[in-house]
Amino acid sequence: MMRKFVLFGPPGSGKGTLAEYMSKKLDIKHYSTGQMLRKEVASKTDLGCAIQSTIESGSLVSDEMMNDLVSSHLEEEYILDGYPRTVEQVDHLIQLNPPNCIIFIDVNIEAAVGRLTNRAKEQGRKDDDADVIQKRIKLYQDETKPVLSYWLEMHPAQVFWPIDGNVSIDDVRKQFDEGKWSF
């Protein structure tokens, strides 16, 4: 069976951190749409400049652009974080190469904001300044989190796996390692 994971959760929940761990442990490619977008921005093309202003404002990149980006990169097996975030993106992924496991990293918003604030200090990311963080969290709560209900109702995955993201990185990894899944 092909191993296809999507990590879902708010900004600052630890999706990227867990995805990197899973990628090494399972030898499956990790696709971070955030990294893909930052790479496009670094290219300083017209598309990159348009993406940069969208990211820095805390808004979401268009569905069409995200669907094209994911379509051009995704392999048979994957670990995907940062996508899908809209109903249209869910439907696109289901048609393209549906996941068989959705890992929902559940974390309280205060902890997520604290992590993003620390990351802004450590990495200097413009999408992690205080105003943008608040906008990203609100966008997640208002627009992205409700997508999970749609996804599970309309396109049930083989496995839906909630993980407690309010604990240390080591404890999140332990939850993954002790998971009851068969891939």
3-state secondary structure 86-102: CHHHHHHHHHHCCCCEE
Q: Looking at the domain assignment, is residue 183 inside a domain?
A: no
Using the predicted structure, report yes or no on whether residue 18 has a pLDDT greater than 90: yes
Name 63's Cβ contacts closer than 8 Å, sequence gap at least 6.
86, 88, 89, 92
Q: Looking at the domain assignment, is residue 117 inside a domain?
A: yes
Instruction: Report the distance separating Cα 182 and Cα 101, nearest Å.
Output: 10
Using the predicted structure, report yes or no on whether residue 24 has a pLDDT greater than 80: yes
Q: Looking at the domain assignment, is residue 182 inside a domain?
A: no
- Calculate mean pLDDT across residues 84-111: 94
Q: Looking at the domain assignment, is residue 47 inside a domain?
A: yes
pTM score, whole prediction = 0.87
What is the band of 38 on the pLDDT scale with cuts at 50, 70, 90? Answer: confident
Q: By percentage, how much of the chain surpasses pLDDT 70?
A: 95
Q: Tell me the CATH number at 80.
A: 3.40.50.300
Name 102's Cβ contacts closer than 8 Å, sequence gap at least 6.
5, 6, 8, 148, 151, 152, 157, 159, 160, 161
Tell me the residue range of the domain where 16 lies: 4-177
Instruction: Report the distance separating Cα 82 and Cα 19, nearest Å.
Output: 11
Instruction: Report the distance separating Cα 94 and Cα 117, nearest Å.
Output: 34
Answer for the pair 104, 163: CB distance below 8 angstroms, yes or no: yes
What is the band of 181 on the pLDDT scale with cuts at 50, 70, 90? Answer: low
With b for 16 or more beta-carbon neighbours within 10 A and e for fewer, the 27-51 pattern comes to ebebbbbbebbbebbeeeeeeeeeb
| Tokens 């604290």 found at | 114
90: left (phi over 0), alpha (psi -120 to 50) or beta: alpha
Question: What total of structural domains would you count in the chain?
Answer: 1
Q: Looking at the domain assignment, is residue 169 inside a domain?
A: yes
